[in-house]
Amino acid sequence: MLRTTIALITAIVVGGSLLGAFGSSPSAEAVSGVSTTGAVSAAAALTALSPVTNDPQQLAKVIVAAQKAGNFSTDPGSIYDREIAPAATGQVIDGCGVDVRILQVIVLTLNRFGSARVSDIERPCIGSNLNCGAPTYSVHCLDPGEAIDFANVGGVTLNGSNTQTRNLLSYLDHFVPSGTNAGQQECRASNPLPLTNISQFSDSCNHQHIDFRNTNQPMNAAALASVLPTIAQASPYVKMLYNDYLNRAPSADEITGWATQLANGAPRNSVSTGFVDSDEYRLIRINAAYQRVLGRGGDATGIQNWLNAMYAGTITTDDIETSFYASAEYYQKHGNTDLGFVASLYTTLLNRNGSASDYAFWTNLVALHGRAWVITQFWSSQETISERISLMYQTYLGRQPDAGGLAGWVAVALQIGDSGLRSALTSSDEYWALSQSGNRPTVLQPQVQRLAPAPSSPETTPAPTPSESATTPTPAPPPSSPSPTITPAPPAPAPTPAATPSATPSATPPAPPASAPPSSAPPSSAPPTSSTPPAHTP
């Protein structure tokens, strides 16, 4: 007896075409990751359909096309003959129903990895009652089938622990509902795999089991509606991040590591934040601060101490420059007087000279509140922030910021810091598009666009009214071992990092800043505004 397949869910679309799943032009491979020849003729009639829909018949047609192209198989073959092929004609053999989410998982896997071999779905349909009774009651015995065992994906045999298994689970975790199950947890015991929506349990290490026994929820419509990049598409983006943050070309393993995270659903801002928080980038910022602010290279101990302070959370990457500006060494290099110190801040941070009354105004505040407090006012001023943001636009996007984008980013700059700004800009759609085109404009004569010019005299700028907590200058980090060659130096070092810092991805990418604008919003549109106005403008 024949009957229709189960349950409709919210209409969902994965970008790209069926040709993208089984071989076509690069632009059609938005979801595949693997281009396989031979299936174009079998799939040609379906190119207008979504590879992943809520329609079991269309999903089964995609799988049938893959089978005809040699990219999908089952062992035993009766799984395909009785559970998949009939559904492609709109019918299902009685007792052989398959949950629509299982069909979706198969199509997603084919799209991402190019091929798959399945060893189990619904056992009674093919004449097996293995573990169908007490005490096991295997989920493979349910009708419609809510479980699937993958034996091979993308030409690689799965064993519950190898890289291909981990890639499959990380990828599917992006789409499946919370409460989805995956076996083989003990196979990964030596290298646990953190997953968000998938709960893990123990199973034999000769396949990869996935089931939906504990959830009736549909697949994640928002995730399915998005288009995950292929590894090939993510690679230029990764290369541009290495160039912009680390000033070098990445190795093949580094490209593959980050690109795989993106292909498996990691948001771009988690990857860009990984670069911002890497030891290698932090060391670049530390060395640059020594050169730019103090005019010299850093000594090994001082550099390591600053890096260790970042590990300990005593300072952030964004605190480096301000700490150096407030140091005794910087003060001594600029006349060893409050007047010389203030004048240098105008030329260094504002790229202009102040008037005599400006200098007198801020020199008085140095005496009242200390150098660190004054540095904070300059660094946090609207003029200085807009200058830094403009330079970031030029560096990462190859253009000047539009007025709306500049105003929006200035509004959140104090909340997310310079690192948050960098991460947000380099995870934007505009930055991604530039990486794909390989044609980023070059600003030959950089011009800094400021949101508003600073007033020229203290008469037009009232003296700031510091809060109670601001009346005491922020102390510089105490040195771990006083030495005239380690100026400035942060607190005593934490555990020594690896000898060769690298931005190689970790198992769990760092979370993006909570207040950062979403990566989907281009930087030209204003991010969320802040109710707290920027600090007093020098």
Q: Choose the weakest-confidence range: 104-108, 110-114, 146-150, 335-339.
A: 110-114
Question: 149: part of which helix (H) or strand (E)?
Answer: strand 147-153
Q: How far, CA to CA in Å, does 252 sit from each of 26, 216, 257, 432?
A: 21, 41, 9, 20
Quickly count: other Cβ atoms within 10 Å of residue 445's Cβ.
Answer: 4
Selected residue with higher pLDDT from 42 and 98: 98
Residue 34, pLDDT > 60, answer no
Confirm if 141 and 108 have CB atoms less than 8 A apart: no
What are 303-340's pLDDT values in tens digits? 999 998 888 888 888 888 888 999 999 999 999 999 99
Q: What is the mean pLDDT of residues 100-114?
A: 93
β 72-74/116-120 pair status: parallel
pLDDT digits (tens, 9 = 90+) for 471-495: 222 222 322 222 222 223 333 322 2
φ/ψ of 437, rounded to 5, equals -80, -25
- With 70 as the cut, is the pLDDT of residue 525 above it? no
Rounded alpha-carbon distances, angstroms, from residue 342 to 207, 318, 337, 378: 68, 21, 9, 10
In eight-state DSSP terms, residue 535 is B
Whether the pLDDT of residue 3 is over 80: the answer is no
CB-CB contact of 114 with 71 (8 Å): yes
Distance of CA 376 to the CA centre of its chain: 30
Query: How many CB atoms are closer than 10 A to CB 524?
Result: 18
Q: Is the pLDDT of residue 500 over 90?
A: no
Q: For 148-192, what is each residue's pLDDT tens digit?
A: 999 999 999 999 999 899 999 999 999 999 999 999 999 999 989
User: Which has the higher per-residue pLDDT, 101 or 461?
Assistant: 101
Q: pLDDT tens, 77-101?
A: 999 999 999 999 999 899 999 999 9
- pLDDT at res. 2: 33
HEC states along 295-340?
Answer: CCCCCHHHHHHHHHHHHHCCCCCCHHHHHHHCCHHHHHHCCCCHHH
Least confident of 295-304, 336-345, 409-418: 409-418
State residue 50's pLDDT score.
43
* Mean pLDDT, range 134-151, rounded to an integer: 94
* CA dist., res. 65 & res. 59, Å (int): 10
User: Could you tell me which residue, 263 or 451, shows the higher pLDDT?
Assistant: 263
Least confident of 8-12, 78-82, 267-271: 8-12
Q: Give strand pairing partners of 326.
A: none
Q: Which pLDDT score is estimated for 443?
A: 58
Q: Residue 148, exposed/middle/buried by CB under 10 A (0-12, 13-18, 19+)?
A: buried
What average pLDDT is seen over the chain?
75
The residue that leads in pLDDT, 504 or 314, is 314
Q: Is the peptide bond before 76 cis (omega within 30 degrees of 0)?
A: yes
Nearest alpha carbon to residue 210 among 155, 169, 243: 169
CA distance 325 to 374: 10
Alpha carbons 51 and 108: distance in angstroms, whole number:
8
Which tokens belong to 439? 């044609």
Q: How far apart are CA 290 and CA 286, in angstroms?
A: 6
pLDDT on residue 52: 86
Interior CA angle at 456 toward 474 and 530, to 5°?
A: 55
Higher per-residue pLDDT: 415 or 180: 180
Please state, in angstroms and as integers, the Cα–Cα distance from residue 11 to each residue in 4, 225, 296, 366, following that order: 18, 9, 61, 63
Could you give the percent of the chain with pLDDT greater than 70? 73
Question: Are 179 and 169 contacting, i.e. CB atoms less than 8 angstroms apart?
Answer: no
Please give the structure tokens belonging to residue 1: 């007896």
Print the SS3 string covering 253-280.
HHHHHHHHHHHCCCCHHHHHHHHHCCHH
383-397, 417-431, 433-447: which has the minimum mean pLDDT? 433-447
- Judge whether 410 and 534 are in contact, CB under 8 Å: yes
Tell me how far apart the alpha carbons of residues 390 and 199 are, in angstroms, rounded to a whole number.
Answer: 45
Structure tokens at 400: 């000047």
Query: Residue 25 has what pLDDT?
Result: 24
| Residue with the larger pLDDT of the pair 14 and 96 | 96
End-to-end, the C-alpha distance of the chain in Å comes to: 82
If you average pLDDT over residues 39-62, what whole number do you get?
60
Phi, psi for 120 (deg, rounded to 5) = -165, 135
Cβ neighbours around 457 below 10 Å, total: 13
d(CA 438, CA 436): 6
Q: How many C-beta atoms lie closer than 10 Å to residue 486's C-beta?
A: 21
Sequence letter at residue 6: I
Tokens representing 286 are 């530390």
For position 12, what pLDDT does the model report?
26
User: In angstroms, rounded to a whole number, what is the distance separating the alpha carbons of residues 37 and 73?
Assistant: 16
CA atoms within 13 A of residue 270's CA, in its CB half-sphere: 16
Cα–Cα distance, 153 to 115 (Å, whole number): 6
3-state helix, strand, coil in the chain (%, to 5): 45, 5, 45
Which DSSP string do the residues of 224-241 spell out, in sequence order? Answer: HHS-PPPHHHHHHHHHHH
- The distance from CA 229 to its chain's CA centroid, rounded to whole angstroms, is 13
